[in-house]
Amino acid sequence: YPHSAVLDGAGAYRLRWGRRGSALALRLEVRTRGYVGFGLSASGGMASADIVVGGVERGQPYLQDYFTDENRVLKKDPQQDYHLEYAMENSTHTILAFSRELHTCDTNDKSITESTVRVIWAYHHKDMGEAGKNYHGSNRGTKSLRLLNPERDEVSSASLPYFDLTNKDVPVPDKDTTYWCQMFKIPVQHEKHHVTKVEPLIQKGHENLVHHILLYQCSSNLNDSVLDYGHECYHPNMPDSFLTCETVIFAWAIGGEGFTYPPHVGLSIGTAADPLFVLMEVHYDNPSFTEGLIDNSGLRLIYTPVLRKYDAGVIEAGLWVSLFHNIPPGMPEFVSEGHCTLECLEEALGAERPAGIQVFAVLLHAHLAGRAIRMRHFHNGEEQKLLAYDDEFDFNFQEFQYLKEERTILPGDNLVTECHYSTVDRIRMTWGGLSTRNEMCLSYLLYYPRINLTRCASIPDIMEQLQFIGVKEIYRPVRTWPFIIKSPKQYKNLSFMDAMNKFKWSRSEGVSYNQLVLKLPVNVRCSKTDNAEWSIQGMTALPPEIERPYKTEPVICSSSSCLNCSLFLTLLCIVYITASTIGNTGPFV
């Protein structure tokens, strides 16, 4: 079982898992002598969930496949697809090991894919019993995981040096969204080293307050005076030195663990071309407007003098964050696309790396309305396999996905970040912006070897969006932001934001608007380090002709009857060890 996670805050419920061909093997280690429940849920709740319940009762192991309907009623699944391998119980813990095919052909089961999975768990101090009436009470919860994460070799970092970049007693304002910026100086200088791992240092109790942390490389021409104090980011009074920090070198988001670079790649520090001054941007999400919060969160960077073969880089791709990205209210499904255009990749890669770059991990990023994100890849106009995807996107669980196989990106390729949103519970427009109630559609690509390309994104044309709602003319020259509409009469002297909110959006209008937006010309963003730009920056390009919606690959599933055939050929090991036999050996961990 190469992967493990503690599912509850008290450490009473541990899950271990690993892939076995077309199946997933799981082991539950739970501090109880009663029943143990485990399930997969689209919402993170009990409704329409795929559930397995097991334990050891009077020396006999049991494991039962269940499902719940939309009313959360638990029902025995007529097709039993979870297969017990062994069960154990001691004086404190119950252990269950079982497996299930990733795709079972059972409509009551949830397919296991590379997307985020909302795992639900429960346990009780008594066994299910024949009536199954023992309710788990508060011993239950949910946790988002990726069960099909590729296995990776963890290199021990216990003896390696590290340095911490942490905020110092930052007073978090009692407002919805705060971006706090603090400048740091990399302590490792004069000799090249490689960062091999980055870990989040989130202050205890602030796990839901700190939404994401970005680390930017800043101009090397700064001096130590910029280190004196932090400041709110994107603020009119923000220090000018912050404006030199455009290149993302690392990204962490809520729910993510530490990130370990592959053995042949590292984040270079210590040379003239490497970051000396870095800006750490922390996004605080405080929707309850809690007062008096003081935060000291940040990042730990573990590094080594033993150099790896390649230097890592980061490219921010997708939709440039702006008001030109907008989503009508009341839409169960709305798709936005951000384009890393062939024009940008042709120029940047053609000049820096004609043989292409190798992408090894991707972080997909959206906010509260996000439901699914895909990173689509086109080569010579032909669509390749998805670079990364998450069809069950969870705002509270965003981390780098390691690619199973590194992907080569070549000059002239297209990358499309495709974001799916739901705004059924909103009555006003949703705008691209920094707040978690605003939206984003971004992909962060970790790749090697490092080149001088930091952002490859797009902005849709705003005037054609406004023509959809009947806008004919705006006041020019533009002196205010958002700009003001001149005609027609019903929108006169309104900002374009107010006009879009005034428009009476129906679902059919929203669908038509979505179809229009996806075909609009885009403004190309193609940035270098130190605020420099490739010549294609600001040019207009047409989005590629792509198939919509994306056609997912057909799933090959294994029916329960076929599984039962194979069971005759395998040994099902069911082990029951009494508490007296185990004695005081303690829990299984």
Active-site residue list: 179, 365
The number of beta carbons lying within 10 Å of the beta carbon of residue 581 is 9
Asked if residue 203 lies in contact with residue 180, where contact means CB atoms within 8 angstroms, the answer is: no
Helix (H) or strand (E) segment spanning residue 562: helix 560-567
Helix (H) or strand (E) segment spanning residue 335: strand 334-340
Asked if residue 34 lies in contact with residue 122, where contact means CB atoms within 8 angstroms, the answer is: no
Q: Which two tokens stand for residue 469?
A: 């709602």
Cα separation, 490 vs 222, whole angstroms: 51
Position 228, amino acid: D
What Å distances lie between residue 542 and 49, 342, 343, 536, CA to CA? 43, 10, 10, 13
DSSP class per residue in 19-42:
EETTEEEEEEEES-SS-EEEEEES
CB contact set of 356 (below 8 Å; sequence gap of 6+): 349, 408, 409, 410, 411
What Å distances lie between residue 291 and 99, 210, 281, 288, 470, CA to CA? 47, 15, 21, 9, 44
* Side-chain-side CA neighbours of residue 328 (13 Å): 27
SS3 label, residue 454: coil
Which regions of 228-306 does DSSP assign to beta strands (E)? 231-232, 247-253, 259-260, 265-269, 277-285, 293-295, 298-304
To which residue do tokens 């909302």 refer?
Answer: 118
Helix (H) or strand (E) segment spanning residue 352: helix 342-352
Cα separation, 527 vs 261, whole angstroms: 24
Ramachandran quadrant class, 329 (left: phi over 0; alpha: psi -120 to 50; beta: rest): beta
Residue 85 has phi, psi (to 5 degrees) of: -105, -45
